[in-house]
Structure 1
Amino acid sequence: MTVLVSVKINDGVVMAADSASSFASGMVYNNSHKIINIYEGLPVGVMVTGAGGIGSESIHTLLKDLRLRFSNKDGMHEMWQLDTTLYTIESIGARLRQFLFEEKSVPHGATTWTKLRLCGYSAGRPIAEVWEVNLMGPDCPPPACIQSEHEFGLRWDGEYEALDRLVFGLGTRFNEFAVKHGMTPDQAAALREKLVPDLYELLFVEAMPIQDAIELARYLVETTIGFIKYSVGRPKVVGGPIEIASITKHEGFQWVQR
């Protein structure tokens, strides 16, 4: 498990993640890298949650392999070379899907469950976008835009509970327990739909400075880490150092904390 947070504002997008990786054996390691600049020098980054590898290769190393293809520095992947003047975030997402799902996951039985969040600027565009590529075992839908250029705000993934409670005012199991106490599933869903707008806690404004977005992203990851640490009944599968990167139009991809 992990926690990924992105904060998209007018000035760009901030990516933040913990560094815990858990395995079927029960081992948890707290030094995983979950954020990568997918093409050095371009304002595009990827965050990962879910399975940490495909076969015997780690997702982080595979993303670096793809980065090498995009630049064609080895001279062996001309068809994969990224045109830095024409690329789109959507087209990079399509390449992510092709490489990780079709070329890597399918030959290994297509059993990988991994979500990749792709953040950044298409070539020549003024505002960032956020897309996702989801490897869901035997299926991997086309890349999906979860925040277009003119959509802003917070997105989190991996471990939802702490931030769902903080921002939405309701835990992830609200519907389950509403049904347990007498509601039908449809009634529970309808009540949640009515309550969330009333309980929603607004933590950002589109015009906030990028540094404040960085501090907000750090706070949200820290909150999840603390919640998991002190929760008596929850597995300790979020934690370790926090990685943070910012992506802005003029400064591009910059590491804030590694």
Structure 2
Amino acid sequence: MKYSKISHLIKSKLIENKSINEIRTHFTSGEKLVSSFLKAKKRNGTETEKNSLKTLDTYGNELSKREDLIDFSLFGINEKQTVSGVFQRAASKTKWCHFFYFLSRNDKETNILEIGTNLGVSGQYFIGALCDNNIKDSNFITFEGVPDLCKIANERFLKISEDKNCNYKIIQGLYEDTLHQVDDFDIKYDIIFIDGNHKYKPTIEYYEYLLNHSKDNAVFIFDDINWSDEMKKAWQDILKTNYSYSIDFFKMGIIVIEKDNHLKKNYNLFLTL
């Protein structure tokens, strides 16, 4: 794994400018995605964006100090973990969260779906961007099985979205029991973040199901594509489907689907592990 990370980093750095130029040139969504990547990498942005990110970043510090327990018995195990422990083990890194924020910034209605709320670390950046967009009909929908995680995430989401145009909904329950509710919302999504079940079969099933609920130029984000043999296989099989371009960040993989554009170009970039 360590060798693969280093190899990916070197390869990405050597062809980064070429990849960026191609993405910008050949794809309608390319400028938006590249701009989001570069802003997150270089910690750039407008004053509004910088101030928002500064506020959102404080949440991680709060979680890292919490010793209250989260009950994971939903999965049939008699186990409780501290909030700080879950945060250290499972939360998205800050650079990735900044990328999510910039990717979600828009001057039009933006709808986002996430599978795997956890403590709401990544979710608050999606919501924060929708709040800054200030577009009334935008939505963030997120799914999580563990009740304690839903409660903590909801407290955070309420705090940052109060009195603002950034609608959100947390769906609690096992994904196999709740994901069908996507049909009830009658929403087409711009960004879909799949981070809830790092196994081959569910990852493929979520992707195939949510394809029918995505907009033109939709961005699918898959977390931990090199975390296990199952996730490596899932990512390789996803690359056999129809799409416009993919970006392998090593930790995360992105698939972008543009209407009537099936070039199926594949790129490697590096943000952080």
Scaled by the length of structure 1, what TM-score is found? Answer: 0.28
Q: Which has the larger radius of gyration?
A: 1
Select the structure that is richer in helix. 2
Scaled by the length of structure 2, what TM-score is found? Answer: 0.27
Select the structure that is richer in strand. 1
